[in-house]
Amino acid sequence: MSFTLPPIPYEHPDASGQHTYLEALRVALRHELESRENLYLLGEDIAQYGGAFKLTEGMLDAFGPERIIDTPIAEGGIIGTAIGSALMGMRPVVEMQFMDFISCGFNQLTNFAAKCHYRWGASVPIVVRGPGGGLVGGGPFHSQSMEVYFAKTAGLKVVMPSSVKDAYALLRAAIADPDPVIFIEHKALYRAPQLRDTLPVGDEFASLAQLGKSRVVRTGKDLVIITYGAMVHRALEAAELVQEQGIDVQILDLRTLSPLDAAGIAESVQTCSKVLLLHEDTKDHGFAGEICSIINEKAFEWLDAPVKRLTAPNTPVPYHSQLESVFAPSVDAIKQAVIELAHY
């Protein structure tokens, strides 16, 4: 399969045809709006204003007010409306202005959308997407890692792309999926210039557009860092630093947390024998604990060291940038953890 990308006002690749993470998401939404007459977007300030991060800028003019819908500040009502219309044959994509606010729609997602298929076989093809994570000085109410709240809920899928190509391919895969999907976009990646890349087409698109499939983004043999979201890029930077000391690090990007690629995790453990679990979320009851259990069940005999976790401390996300820089795992902290593990 292949996709053409005709230029329109709200697509802004650079001269080489490369896109930012945010632009990749915008183009993915545009393609789905063009190809699916039953698809529409709804959320706070997404139409007239173009979204808090300007991700939907220009879409109101392109597709009209019946498909790009501004809503009241009522996340439970927004998600409930999306669920109802999905049951009637529509394919809504809901934007949370910040993923922190999804908690106001928690009941709609966990007690209704997630259980419709189990209860009576009904498909609820909604995507709830928006900016998550910190690293930009947003404070405790605009920087939370919300993924674990939903990853444990049977019937919900949770996606967290870390690259331009994955942002584009996984959002289109999420929209095509018959089940409700929570799609978390790390706000620190939206306009990061170093992430600019071309969009995948053909076989590359087909390979990347798979929910539940992890990807090795850096090969190595001495130990593996298993991570997701913005921490993928900090892990890549740390891996280059320790390479100078002769430590060869593999990095596994989970891409989706539910469904989770247990086979891919086990394969990386077999290859490397030492594991560092890395995420921006807090440690207690965090997702690293689930991955550790999978490793114990499926790849314990391959381990040459205890599984190590590197996460944020068990506090709210601080507002001050200096405090936040200590709160989230830094490149230096990752480097030190890798060195300790390698020398175990």
Residue predicted with more confidence, 236 or 142: 236
Please state which architecture CATH assigns to domain 215-342. 3-Layer(aba) Sandwich (3.40)
Residue 236, CB-side half-sphere exposure with 13 Å CA sphere: 15
Written as six digits, the tokens of 123 are 């498909």
Residue 151: HSE in the Cβ half-sphere, 13 Å Cα cutoff: 24
Active-site residue flag, 142: yes
Sheet containing 39-43: which strands, arranged edge to edge?
A: 68-70, 39-43, 91-95, 127-132, 181-186, 157-159, 256-258
- Global pTM reads 0.94
pLDDT above 90 covers a percentage of the chain that reads 89
pLDDT of res. 12: 63
E strand or H helix at 333? helix 331-342
pLDDT in tens, 243-291: 999 999 999 999 999 999 999 999 999 999 999 999 999 999 999 999 9
Q: Where are the domains of the chain?
A: 21-208, 215-342
**In terms of CATH, what superfamily is 21-208?**
Thiamin diphosphate (ThDP)-binding fold, Pyr/PP domains (3.40.50.970)
Average pLDDT, the chain: 93
Q: Is 337 left (phi over 0), alpha (psi -120 to 50) or beta?
A: alpha
On the question of a common fold for 21-208 and 215-342, the answer reads: yes
Local confidence band at 11 (pLDDT 50, 70, 90 cut-offs): low
Convert the pLDDT of each residue in 176-234 to its tens digit.
999 999 999 999 999 999 999 999 999 999 999 999 999 999 999 999 999 999 999 99
Predicted confidence at residue 38, as pLDDT, reads 97
Letter for the amino acid at 289? Answer: G
- Which of 19, 31, 142, 233 is catalytic? The answer is 142
Q: In the predicted model, what is the mean pLDDT of residues 12-29?
A: 86
